[in-house]
Amino acid sequence: MAPLTSLALELLAERLAIVRLPPDADLPQLPLGGELLSLTVTRDEISIVCPEDMAPVGTEIAAGWRALRVVGELDFSLIGIMAALTGALAEAGVSVFALSTYTTDYLLVREEALEQAVAALRAAGHTVTGA
């Protein structure tokens, strides 16, 4: 299959935090709403992506992240979405925290690398709005 040539991405407005809790921690009460809230529970840890101002106090927090959302619904049969995006960012030296939902994909980058990330994605032929 030929590589994807262009994807549309939207920069979300909120500053995000990535939170880590031990696997046996009680799940914090997080209000629904905002642009992105993700909870992943594994046998090794609990990870939460949430707006910075919602990050649970007293937890391990990595703040200062921004999210780029792939616009539109992605069919499960599509191949190479993340590779097309993360490859461009890897070439530019930008670290990524990737999330996928049932509908689409998200790339989180450190706010200080946001300009570099947007430039790299655009140079690779992708469009970024909201930046």
Which residues contact residue 41 at a Cβ distance below 8 angstroms, ignoring those fewer than 6 apart? 23, 27
**What domain count does the chain have?**
1
pLDDT tens for each residue of 3-43: 456 899 999 999 999 999 999 998 888 888 789 999 999 99
For CA atoms 48, 52, 58, 60, the dihedral sign is: positive
Looking at the domain assignment, is residue 12 inside a domain? yes
Is residue 1, in this structure, part of any structural domain at all? no
Q: Domain residues for 14?
A: 8-129
Q: What pTM does this model have?
A: 0.90
In a domain, 110, yes or no: yes
User: 90's torsion region: left (phi>0), alpha (psi -120 to 50) or beta?
Assistant: alpha
Establish if 54 belongs to a structural domain. yes
Calpha distance 79→114 (Å, rounded): 25
Task: Tell me whether residue 43 is in a domain.
Answer: yes
Q: Is residue 52 part of a domain?
A: yes
Q: At what angle do helices 114-123 and 81-91 cross, to 10 degrees?
A: 120
Contact 93, 80 (CB under 8 A): no
2 within some domain: no
Provide the pLDDT confidence category of residue 82 given band limits of 50, 70 and 90: confident
Q: Is 70 a member of any domain?
A: yes
CATH number of residue 31's parent domain? 3.30.2130.10
